[in-house]
Structure 1
Amino acid sequence: MLTLAPLSVAQAQVSPFVQSVAIAAADQDEVISAFYAARNYAPIWTGPQDAERRNAFLSAIAHASDQGLAVQRYDARALTDAFRSAQTEGDRGRLEVRMTRAYLSYVHDLHGGVLQPKKVDAGIVREVPRIDPQLALERLTGDDLGAFLSTLAPASPSYAQLIKAKLRIDGTIAAGGWGPTLADTPLQPGDSGAAVVALRDRLVSMGYLRLSATQDYDAEVQKAVQRFQIAHGLDPDGKLDEITITALNVAPEERLKSIIVALERERWVNMDRGRRHIWVNLTDFTARIIDDGKETFVTRAVIGKDVPDQRTPEFSDEMEYMVVNPSWSVPRSITTKEYLPLLKKNPNAAGHLKIVDRNGRVIDRGSINFGKYTAANFPFSMRQPPSDANALGLVKFMFPNQWNIYLHDTPSKSLFDREVRAFSHGCIRLGQPFEFAHALLAVQSADPEGDFKKALDSGREQAVKLQQHVPVHLVYFTAFPDVRGGMNYRRDIYGRDERIYDALIDAGVVPGGQHG
C-alpha cells in the first residue's frame, strides 16, 4: 500500500497546493477544473484519507496491459514514483490533477476503447459507448472506487476469455514461441518421416495434439490438423496443404496482435447486445442468432468485396421487418458505374431490370438515348421485379440504416462453398435465408414455416414485421473464443485490424504483457 505523509490543517490552507491544482486543472480540462472548484480544491487522491482510493486505482492501472490497454496514458509506475518523490505542496497539487487525468483516461479506455473507430477506418461507423467524464468524477467521491472500476470493462464472456488468451500467449512468447516453423511441404494421412515429426511438434506446442513419439501422419495427427483448420476457418479436410501450412506458421506475436485488437473491439461493443440478437462476424462469413447468450442458429454469409465503397461497414442497429418476394432497387452507384456503360453500348443490356423515372413509372428503353447521359446526370433508376432470379432472392431482412445495408437471400448459391466469401457490393447474403426467417418468426408464430411459406407463395412483395425488434451487430473479429474458451483466428480481409493495431501502438499500447 502506498502511503503519504499527512497534510496539517495549516498546510492545507496554504495557497501553493490550491494554486497548483487550479493552474494544472485549468491547463488541461474544463471538466476537471470545475470538479476541483466545486470541491474548493480539496484533494481526492493526495490526502491521508485517500489511501484506499489511490491504491485501488494504482492497482488497476498497474495491470492495464493485461487487457491490451494503452498503459503509457496512465503509467502506474511513474505515478507511484511521483507520489514518493513529491515534496512540496506544488508537487502534490500537480500530482493531484495528474492522477485525475489518468483516471479519466482509464475510464474512457476501459469502457469504450482507446480509439475513435471512424478515425482509424472509414468503414467502422459504429457509435461506441462513452461515460460522461463528469459522472466518472462524481464516482470518485464514493466509498468503493474498485467496485466502480470493475463495472467498466465489457461483461461479455468473450472479453474475459480474450484476456486469458492474451496472458497465455504472452507466456508462450516469453518461453520462445511455438518452435520451428514448418517447411513448405504438403502432407496427408499415411505420410511418414521428419516432416511429419515437425508437424507433430508444432501441433503439440500449439495445444492441438497430445505428446506422442509418432512419426506417422496417423488418425490422431489428422484430427489435430482438422481441429486447427476449424479454429482458423479453413476447410477441415485434415490434410496439410499450402494454406494450412501458412496458418500454422503464423508467429504467436502476430496472434497476440489479433487478440489485442479484439479486446479493443469488444470495448467498442460494450453495450446491452440484446437477449436475442443477430451477430454477423464479417471475417468469419457467418450470421448467427444468439438467444440468452447461446447460439440458436448459424448460417454462412457472403460479405462485401475488398474494394473501395463495397466493403461491408461495421455498426449496430435493430432489425424491424423482413420483405418477402422483394423487388431490387438497384443502388445508384451500381446503376451509373456498372449498368449505364453497358446500356450505352446496348440499350437492351441487363434486360432483367426495369428502367424507372423519378415518378416511379417504367420507361420504354427504346425511347431513351443513353449515350447523352453521364453518371452525374442520368435521370433514371433501375429496378428488378420479384422473382427467383432477383438479386435479393426471395427474402430480405431490414434494419433501416443510412448505408443501405441489409441481409438477404441470393440466387448465387455456389459462392457459399468458397472459403473466403467476399463477393457482394456491401450487403450480406445468407446461405440459409428461409431457415433464418423461420428462426426469427418462431418467437411470434405458432407456425413460422407455414406463415413464411404463405407469404412466399403469394408471389407478392410484402413486409412481415417483427413484433420485437432484434438488435443486429455487424462486427469484425479476427480473434474470438469458442464456447470452450479455445481461440479462433480469421484473416484480416479488409486490413482493418492492421490499421487498428498501428493506431493502438501510437496510443501507447505495449505488447508482450509488460506492466506500466
Structure 2
Amino acid sequence: MLKNYLLPVLAAMLLAAACKQGVKKQSEAINRDTTHYTKQEYIAQALDSNQVGEFLSRHAEFAPYSDLIREFYRKRDFHYAWINEEGITEQAGGLLNMMRQDEESGIKDSTLDKSRVSALYDSIALMGDSLNRQDTLISIAELSLTGQFFVYANKVWGGMTSDNAKDLEWFIPRKKINVESLLDSIIRYPKRALAADEPVNRQYRLLRDELTRVGDLVKKHPQHDSIKLADKKKTYKSGDSSAVIAAVKSRLAIWGDFKEKDTTTQFTPLLDSALRNYQTRMGQKPDGIIRQQTIDALNRPMEHYMQQLLLNMERLRWVPVEVTTDYILVNIPEFRLHVYEDGKLAWSCNVVVGTPGASTVIFSKEMQYVVFSPYWNVPPGILKKEVLPGIRKSGNAYLKRHNMEMTGSGNNISVRQKPGPSNSLGKVKFLFPNEYNIYLHDTPAKNLFSETKRSFSHGCIRVAEPKRLAQWVLRKDSSWTEQKIDAAMNAGKEKYVTLKTKLPVYIGYFTAWVDSQGRLNFRDDVYGHDAKLAKLLFGK
C-alpha cells in the first residue's frame, strides 16, 4: 500500500520538475550499434543526443564536466549506464551508498548534494512494472547519476587543484585520474564493488575507516570533549596514585590503547604499556610517564583529530594510487625516512629536517648519485651570516679550525669544507638533483637523532643510518661490498657514484596515518601546513 501511495506522488513531482526544464521525452524506439558490447554489458535503452545537451543546459552544477559526460555517452552510443530493463543498477546504489557514508564520516562538500539524485533513485526503485513508461524521469535520473559521479570523482578522488597545492607549498606531481575510463570500467563490471575501483592510495582508505571509527567514538562518548583532565602534578609514573591516573586510563580506554577494565587511581604496569603505545602513536617520547604533553594530547577535542584526518585525506587524494617500485619516503612531521622495496616497507630510520624558518620543501625527484667523503659547499646564506664574519675576525685560523678552504676571488668567493670526520655532511650524501638544493646526508651531530622533535637543519635532511642507506641504494651493484662502502666513506677523498637505476625520492608532509601495525598516528603541524589547508577546506 505504501508503494502504491508514494509512487504517483514522487513521479508526479519529479516529472513536473523535468517538464519545467524542457527536457524532451525519449523516443519510443532508438536503434544503436551494440557490436562493441557483450550481451552482459548491453543495456537496450538509450538516450537521444539532444536530451544530453538540454539536460546540461539546465544543470549548471555539471557544466565543468559537460565534455566528459558528452564523450562518455557518445562512446557508448548513448546507451544507458545506470538503469536497465530490471530497474536501477547495483552501481547506482553503490555510488549513493558511498556518498552517504562519506557524509556520515564528515566528508562534506556543497557540490556533493545527493538529495536530488537520491529522490530520483527512490522513485525509480518504486516504479516496478511501470518503469518503461516513465521515459523522461528515467533519462533525468540516468544523466543525474552520471553527472554526480564525475562531481564525486573530482572532489573525493581528485582533491584540490594543482594551484591550491602549490599555494600550500606541495610540489609533488599530482596523480592523474581518467574518470571517464573509470566510470566505463565500473559500469562494465557490475559484480565488482564500486569501492574496489576507487583511484585512491591505500592510506586514504585506512584514514577514512579511522574517520568513521573516531566519529563513532564521539557518539559513544559525548562527555569526552566537555571533561578536561586536570594535571595537579608535573609528572606521574609507575607506582604513583592519583585521580588524574584514573582519568588517563579512561581516556586511553576510549582510544583503545588501554584494554583493561581498570578504573583505579593506581599507576599499573598495564597502564605503563598502554601509555607507551599512545605516546608512540602521538610522536611523543615513549617513556611511560604522564606529563603535560600527554595530558594536552588527551584533552584535545575529538573534532580536532577528525579534522586532522580530513586534512591528510585531502593530501592523500593527490598522491599516486599505488607505487610498486623501490622508493624512499621522508615524512617531515614524523621525522622519519622509510625505505620501500617493490612498494612494501623494508625499514625506517630517524631523520633531522629543516627548522620552521628554513623548512624542508615538499617535492619528489629521482636519486642519481651517491657521494662518498663529500665536500660541503657552504650555502650563500650560511656563508654570509656565519662563515665570512668568522673569517674576517680570525682569518685562516677560522678556516683551519673548521677544515675549510676558500675558492674563487673578488666578489665570487666561495668556501667549502673538506672531507673528513667533522664535515657537516658527514661521510656520505645522496643526491636527487632539484631546484631547492635539498639532499640526504650523514652528519657528525649524532646526538640530535635522539630528540623527539627533530627540526634543526637548514633545509637538507640528515639521516641517522647513512651507511645502511648507502648499502641499500647500491645493493644491486655487486661491486659495492660493505667493505668497499666503508673504505669510500672514510677515504677523505670525494667520490661520486652514479646509480645504474634512478630511485624515486618523495619528501612528504603527513600529520596523520595508519602505521604498519595498524595504529592510528598523529603528529604536530611542524610547518603550519595543516593550518593553511584548514583555511581552504574549512574556512578556519
Normalised TM-score (structure 2): 0.78
Q: Which residue does 1:17 correspond to in 2?
A: 51
Q: Which residue does 2:229 correspond to in 1?
A: 182
Name the structure, 1 or 2, with higher relative contact order (CA <8 Å, separation 6+): 1
Shift of 1:456: 2.3
Contact 2:353 2:457 in 1 (8 A): yes
Structural mapping, 1:289-368, within 5 Å: 289-292=339-342, 294-307=344-357, 310-336=358-384, 339=387, 351=399, 352=402, 353-357=404-408, 363=409, 368=410
Cα distance change of structure 1 residues 151 and 381 upon mapping to structure 2, 3 Å threshold: farther
Contact 1:278 1:471 in 2 (8 A): yes
Distance 2:508 2:517 in 1: 21
Contact 2:186 2:197 in 1 (8 A): no
Q: Which residue does 2:534 correspond to in 1?
A: 501
Deviations 1:172-205 (A, max 9, x none): 1112357332112332222213222222222222
Q: Per the alignment, in what secondary structure is the counterpart of residue 9 of structure 1?
A: coil
Cα distance change of structure 1 residues 286 and 324 upon mapping to structure 2, 3 Å threshold: same
Shift of 1:19: 4.8
The reply on whether 1:237 has 2:287 as its aligned counterpart is: yes
Shift of 1:49: 7.6
Q: Which runs of 5+ in 2 are unaligned?
A: 1-6, 16-24, 31-45, 125-132
Cα distance change of structure 1 residues 100 and 337 upon mapping to structure 2, 3 Å threshold: farther
Distance 1:72 1:56 in 2: 20
Of residues 115-124 and 268-277 in structure 1, the stretch that sits farther from structure 2 once superposed is 115-124
Shift of 1:240: 1.1
Of residues 405-414 and 438-447 in structure 1, the stretch that sits farther from structure 2 once superposed is 438-447
Q: Which runs of 5+ in 1 are unaligned?
A: 358-362, 369-377, 508-516
Cα distance change of structure 1 residues 178 and 477 upon mapping to structure 2, 3 Å threshold: farther
Aligned residues: 486
Distance 1:478 1:178 in 2: 26
The reply on whether 1:79 has 2:98 as its aligned counterpart is: no
Q: Which residue does 2:461 correspond to in 1?
A: 428
Q: Per the alignment, in what secondary structure is the counterpart of residue 211 of structure 1?
A: coil
Contact 1:107 1:136 in 2 (8 A): no
Shift of 1:78: 2.9
Shift of 1:455: 1.6
Cα distance change of structure 1 residues 379 and 66 upon mapping to structure 2, 3 Å threshold: farther
Distance 2:276 2:268 in 1: 12
Match of 1:61 among 96, 99, 102: 99
Shift of 1:68: 6.2
Deviations 1:230-251 (A, max 9, x none): 2212112211112121122222
Distance 1:173 1:464 in 2: 54
Cα distance change of structure 1 residues 434 and 166 upon mapping to structure 2, 3 Å threshold: same
Cα distance change of structure 1 residues 122 and 113 upon mapping to structure 2, 3 Å threshold: closer
The reply on whether 1:461 has 2:494 as its aligned counterpart is: yes
Structural mapping, 1:98-247, within 5 Å: 98-116=144-162, 118-119=164-165, 121-136=167-182, 138-139=184-185, 142-144=188-190, 150-154=196-200, 156=202, 158-177=203-222, 179=224, 180-185=227-232, 186-209=235-258, 210-247=260-297
Contact 1:61 1:71 in 2 (8 A): no
The reply on whether 1:51 has 2:70 as its aligned counterpart is: no
Deviations 1:79-106 (A, max 9, x none): 2225668999888767655443322232
Contact 1:326 1:386 in 2 (8 A): yes
Distance 1:34 1:448 in 2: 56
The reply on whether 1:440 has 2:473 as its aligned counterpart is: yes
The reply on whether 1:398 has 2:444 as its aligned counterpart is: no
Q: Per the alignment, in what secondary structure is the counterpart of residue 63 of structure 1?
A: helix
Q: Per the alignment, in what secondary structure is the counterpart of residue 470 of structure 1?
A: strand
Shift of 1:117: 7.1
* Amino acid corresponding to residue 215 of structure 1 in structure 2: T
Contact 1:274 1:470 in 2 (8 A): no
Q: Per the alignment, in what secondary structure is the counterpart of residue 268 of structure 1?
A: coil
Cα distance change of structure 1 residues 138 and 151 upon mapping to structure 2, 3 Å threshold: closer
Cα distance change of structure 1 residues 178 and 295 upon mapping to structure 2, 3 Å threshold: farther
* Amino acid corresponding to residue 21 of structure 1 in structure 2: F
* Amino acid corresponding to residue 102 of structure 1 in structure 2: Q
Q: Which residue does 2:334 correspond to in 1?
A: 284
The reply on whether 1:416 has 2:454 as its aligned counterpart is: no
Normalised TM-score (structure 1): 0.81
Of residues 348-357 and 397-406 in structure 1, the stretch that sits farther from structure 2 once superposed is 348-357
Q: Identity of counterpart residues, as a percentage?
A: 29
